[in-house]
Copies of this chain bind each other. A is one copy, B any other.
């Protein structure tokens, strides 16, 4: 057992051990009373590692900020970036020092993590700091207690249109998030409806303040999603026009009020003019005008605006082949580059569509040069298996981070982190389920998100191994990490083929429905016929590829160069198109779907072999989900294969069963 799973067990089962003498001794060395939270962490953490505790016995232990320790104890600790830390273990000393109080917290967490991995040895000197200032979780929780796209139980925060939570569970959650470096948290759905509209009123603000107080010791600042039409919807003004001085004044006053209750509120998340949410368009205004008006109200308080770029025509006519939803974010926001206030951050989904299983990186990240932005990903597995199917998301996030936008030097996404890209934000995957995430292994996605937001250069394998080791100990770690690492490619194989999107059960977004969105208003079409499938997004088609830097566009626009996982995203391809392995597109569709399903079978077998080496309850619950995943993979395999067999009349070359 180890740090991360200790957290889990400890927080859930309340079996806090009695602090040992080492930990108590450490506590006395900490002069900064504000660091009490960190001491608590360390104390309860160390108590679990008797060998280390023994090893540390008799050593001088220093815990504080770098400035404090250098000044008061004559140490020579090097300065770090904000929120950074130094860990130093020598023959005679153990030092955990933060650049600031947040850094000390993260240093303690890192110390515990290293400890759990037996990496704390004499001579170690570790220093680290986050790459970006904003590492945020967006909850899509509704005040009625439901969670939009939530697969881990009901809301942590709300029930029956009121704040309603167990404070200890919130503290546990805050500790969990702080252990992976999360420092921002928006608590309500970006679709701000019903009672959520009232979160900015005095009816709810005292409760918001109480919640913020629970997160504050863990260096987590709360944010809220607001409804752009609030001045109108709350019945206070006849308009929400951002250029109306009365509206701007209303938001200033309202923001002042909010900050009286929550002085360190991080800011507002805004979904405007998106999927029927109100926004500046309805007043003939632009998004910069809308965002800057809110930014001006937040500026005096140090607050920020996260303005989502998920703006597209959601009442499209499928007959119209000229409109391409993939173009929308770029078309809306590129022309506004440089027009946003400095406390506005454009929150851009990682791909041009909507958290699909296989879609390219949004061209906006490369194209915006004068605008701060955040990359938004989804930890909750909306399209990636509902926390029933195993799908280790850091695998795809690292690929996204390695994507080279092609604009200038150091143009890979991870290299933009900390400059144009000021943070990573993710839709959370935690609810009231006892194991936080429904599928226990889905915890690895939350963990991995935090680690990558801190350090985008980490590779997926490191993250998988780290989490598996921390959660299940050294013995089972390699096997579980192996399953995790294989899971995304497997999910991709049995899902929609080669970058086709939205072949999924409408609304639900679990399980296959090949034409489920084919004639809808959502702009999500693959236009499969008896000969070909896919959308031509080159300059001969919708022109979407031209939104990328020329050398990137050249790759995507050429079927021979285009990464095959995006082939049908960028191109309309005949089923007899020969792919890199010499087989046709059709045969590759068949092959990947048979393989994907077979691989899930293998996961299940590998998991069954772990019986006895992990806690029985975890073993059983993961097993049950894997069995459901196998059913799902089988349905995907057969529906997809049958669909294409019916369209082509061409059988599988290997003679495997395709239903007719």
A interface list, Cβ under 8 A from B: 318-319, 506, 512-516, 519, 527-531, 635, 638-639, 642-643, 645-649, 659-660
Contacts and interface: CB of A to CB of B under 8 A. Distances in A.
B515 A519 contact: no
Contacts of A506: 506
User: What's the number of copies of this chain in the assembled complex?
Assistant: 2
Given A319-B659, A514-B515, A516-B516, A529 B635 contact: no
Contact of A529 (B513, B519, B660): B660
A529 B638 CA distance: 15
A530 B527 CA distance: 15
A649 B659 CA distance: 23
A638 to B, nearest CB: 6
B635 A531 contact: no
Given A638-B319, A639-B519, A649 B527 contact: no
Contacts of A638: 319, 519
A636 B506 CA distance: 18
A530 B647 contact: yes
A646 B528 contact: yes
A515 B506 CA distance: 12
8 contacts: A319-B638, A515-B515, A519-B642, A527-B646, A528-B646, A529-B649, A530-B530, A646-B647
A188 to B, nearest CB: 27
Given A529-B647, A530-B530, 9 more contacts: A506-B506, A512-B519, A513-B515, A513-B519, A519-B639, A529-B645, A530-B648, A530-B649, A647-B647
A520 to B, nearest CB: 9
A174 to B, nearest CB: 38
B646 A530 contact: yes
Q: Which of A506, A528, A646, A649 has the most CB of B within 10 A?
A: A646
A660 B516 contact: no
Nearest to A639: B519
A635 B642 CA distance: 26
Q: Which of A515, A528, A639, A649 has the most CB of B within 10 A?
A: A515
Contacts of A512: 519
